[in-house]
Amino acid sequence: MCSIKIESVVKEKNRMGECPVWEERENALVYVDINSQKVCRWNSVTNEVHSVSVDARVGSVALRKCGGYVIALGTRFAFLNWEMESVTTIAELEQDKPNNRFNDGKVDPKGRFFAGTMAEETEPGVRARRQGALYTLFPDYSVVKQLDQVDISNGLDWSLDHRTFFHIDSLAYAVHAFDYDVHTGKIACCKVLYQLEKKEQMPDGMCIDAEGKLWVACIDGGRVIRIDPETGKRIQTVKLPASRITSCCFGGKDYSEMYVTSAYDGLDKAALAKEPRAGEIFKVIGFCFFQ
């Protein structure tokens, strides 16, 4: 009988923790705090958190084979040299949309960096619709637009056979599946895979497990849900001790641990008093499958 256990491992609170990715060579979890304009790294051995501040809101971070990171910040792609704390711009996009910024991103099985944009709110709950897009940064530094008229480009991942690309546009409250050509990096033929229920609230970040099942973080829903792409059904729910759950990934020595980010921005004083762990990062263990 499997028994899920949850603990807070990063108690340094994030305004908008996002895009966790496990870095084996450092035994560390790398992630961003979007609204604090920081890329962060938590060392699982020393329990220390180090961060590098950047000059714009940073939506996503990914590992580079040669060391360091690629990030999507503001409306540009860039490299981050961790030791030098320096940022080198690769490409600038959407210069005609000053209210846009990059959001979630991830590297595909061939090393291409996918990341999408969104319009910022002009006031609480108000944003221009369908201003975002999904882009791919190729290893030769060229950039291709994959999708247009996106509201909030968010969670993304690929099936284990690399034939399907999964993507979330948060305001559609759904997970979409696309045909994927791993050789060219092109996507096609979109369909709705899963429509979130009212209690699950809005989908945010996403990852895939060793059985090919998707895990979707539900912001304001206080949970991550496991979806079977073969049936389009939810098969598991894990509730967390914070409502603004933003993203998730697997990591640890054998990738059997799930790391879940959260946020405290968007909560008023009364809500924060009820959620003392909002903005922390949680570790979930005890799954019935081997990661």
Domain membership flag for residue 224? yes
Domain membership flag for residue 59? yes
User: So what's the pLDDT on residue 2?
Assistant: 79
What type of residue sits at position 58?
Answer: V
**Helix/strand/coil percent split, the chain, to 5:** 5, 55, 40
Establish whether 121 is an annotated binding residue: yes
User: So what's the pLDDT on residue 6?
Assistant: 98
To 10 degrees, the CA torsion angle through 193, 242, 40, 102?
A: 40
Establish whether 101 is an annotated binding residue: yes
Beta strands 257-262 and 281-285: pairing type? Answer: antiparallel
Establish whether 204 is an annotated binding residue: yes
0.95 surpassed by pTM? yes
Mean of all residue pLDDT scores within the chain: 97
Domain membership flag for residue 101? yes
Q: Six-digit token pair at 146?
A: 């994959």
Q: What is the mean pLDDT of residues 229-240?
A: 98
CATH number of the domain within which 77 lies: 2.120.10.30
Establish whether 148 is an annotated binding residue: no
Domain membership flag for residue 290? no
Predicted confidence band of residue 1 (pLDDT cuts 50, 70, 90): low
Domain membership flag for residue 275? yes
Establish whether 25 is an annotated binding residue: no
Cα 159-165-170 angle, rounded to 5 deg: 120
Q: Does the pLDDT at position 124 exceed 90?
A: no
User: How many domains are there within the chain?
Assistant: 1
Its domain, for residue 99, covers 5-285
Q: What is the mean pLDDT of residues 184-203?
A: 97
Active-site residue, 204 included? yes
User: So what's the pLDDT on residue 86?
Assistant: 98
Domain membership flag for residue 200? yes
Chain-centre distance of CA 94, in angstroms? 21
Q: Does the pLDDT at position 125 exceed 90?
A: no
User: So what's the pLDDT on residue 123?
Assistant: 86
Q: Does the pLDDT at position 196 exceed 60?
A: yes
Predicted confidence band of residue 290 (pLDDT cuts 50, 70, 90): low
Q: What is the mean pLDDT of residues 1-14?
A: 93
pLDDT tens, position by position, 207-219: 999 999 999 999 9
User: So what's the pLDDT on residue 241?
Assistant: 98
Domain membership flag for residue 291? no
What CA–CA distance (Å, rounded) separates 115 from 147?
11
User: So what's the pLDDT on residue 104?
Assistant: 98
Alpha carbon of 4 to those of 201, 238, 239, 256, 289: distances in Å?
A: 22, 8, 10, 12, 12
Active-site entry in 157, 169, 204, 209? 204
